[in-house]
Structure 1
Amino acid sequence: MPFTDDTADALRAAVWLVNSAEDPDTLTDAADEAALLLEFPYTGRLDRDTTEIEQLRALRPELRAMLLAERDDMAEHVNRALAGVTVTPRLTRHGDLDWHLHAVDDDRPLAERVLVETAMALVDVIRADEGSRISVCADDTCQALALDLSRNRSKRYCSTTCANRNAVAAYRARRAG
């Protein structure tokens, strides 16, 4: 994997959040937000209210555009995101994470922190020219994002469900052909 743990975690969280907008929407209430926070334990301010959920939901199209942008456009998205906040960078460690960078205060709204953490992770993606690791799922019926952090760049599907569906279809096509 070409990225540090905090970069990979921020990318996974952003992809999860973007994919929560797919049908069916999986970020509609406090239980859905709790699932996000269980999978990606953000530190700092957590309001856990309808405003916070709506801010996260509203962030999804911007994150999708950032994550899928070509390299130069991705840099513009990142610069725009970082210019829109008061950046107060500091090194921190907590939980199982070793020293890593937090770019905004912990008391900022969760959606703002997610946006900035995604932007900071994309700095690493841009610098390593690894944007091809983020794509739309290879399943023709799916528009979710696939994040490939594998060494051999083999991940094409957003989930096991899509991968299995396509493997079964390919098997049936070979058997019929």
Structure 2
Amino acid sequence: MDLQTPDRQVRLAVDLVNTRTREPEQLTTPADVRAFLLEHGEADPVTLDEDDLVAVRGVREQVREVFHADPRTAALKLNELLEEYAVRPYLSDHDGSPWHLHVAKPGVTWAEWLAATTALGLATFAAGHGFEALGVCAAVDCERVFANAAEKRPRRFCTPRCSSRTRVASYRARQHAQ
């Protein structure tokens, strides 16, 4: 449970939120959460149970609120998460790993670690890029979130596919209206 680079923390936050969209729920078992954590660079052992699954889903919904809120509310939410879950960063070389930073208390659950890590990542990202760089896809049939660090290219869609699908639907609607 180590503190990752800010880019990885933001990707972790985005991907965590996107495990529940209009698509089927992706975190249905503790094994799903384990696979998610391993895919995002965590090392074994990753041991979870049903309580962990419920707690991780709860953290996911708290992190989701950041993407849907206005900047002041998002900042308040991140500060609440940091206050509840994060500690002063400290260096660790546990289990023979290279020195790295931790921001969660030693021995916390995976949900608590996710809350601290994603909150710090999103707070750092928002401080550097503004809250407008955190978004929810504008496609009417999508609920995915994204983080866009490109300063000159504001983004409204999570993927080019959603953008194209929306553009085509808009074109067809205009054609049908004529």
Q: Same fold (TM over 0.5)?
A: yes
Using a 3 Å threshold, how does the CA distance of structure 1 residues 101 and 132 change in structure 2: closer, same or farther? farther
Deviation at 1:163, TM superposition (A): 3.3
Aligned length: 170
1:42 has 2:47 as partner: no
8 A contact 1:71–1:126 mirrored in 2: no
Which moved further from structure 2: 75-84 or 106-115? Answer: 75-84
**Is the partner of 1:139 in helix, strand or coil?**
coil
Q: Distance in 2 between matches of 1:165 and 1:35?
A: 30
Q: Distance in 1 between matches of 2:61 and 2:103?
A: 22
Which moved further from structure 2: 130-139 or 40-49? Answer: 40-49
Gaps of 5+ in 2: none
Partner of 1:73 in structure 2?
Answer: 73
Deviation at 1:123, TM superposition (A): 2.6
Which moved further from structure 2: 35-44 or 167-176? Answer: 167-176
Using a 3 Å threshold, how does the CA distance of structure 1 residues 173 and 108 change in structure 2: closer, same or farther? same
8 A contact 2:13–2:122 mirrored in 1: no
Using a 3 Å threshold, how does the CA distance of structure 1 residues 92 and 69 change in structure 2: closer, same or farther? farther
What's the RMSD between the two structures over aligned residues? 3.2
Partner of 2:114 in structure 1?
Answer: 114
Partner of 1:147 in structure 2?
Answer: 147
Using a 3 Å threshold, how does the CA distance of structure 1 residues 105 and 147 change in structure 2: closer, same or farther? same
Structure 1 residues 94-114: Cα deviation after superposition (integer angstroms, max 9, x where no partner): 9xxx97642113521111111
**Is the partner of 1:138 in helix, strand or coil?**
coil
Gaps of 5+ in 1: none
Structure 1 residues 27-83: Cα deviation after superposition (integer angstroms, max 9, x where no partner): 112443244123312358732322222111121221111233333222322222222
**Is the partner of 1:150 in helix, strand or coil?**
coil
Using structure 1 for the length normalisation, give the TM-score: 0.75
8 A contact 1:89–1:103 mirrored in 2: yes
Partner of 2:33 in structure 1?
Answer: 33
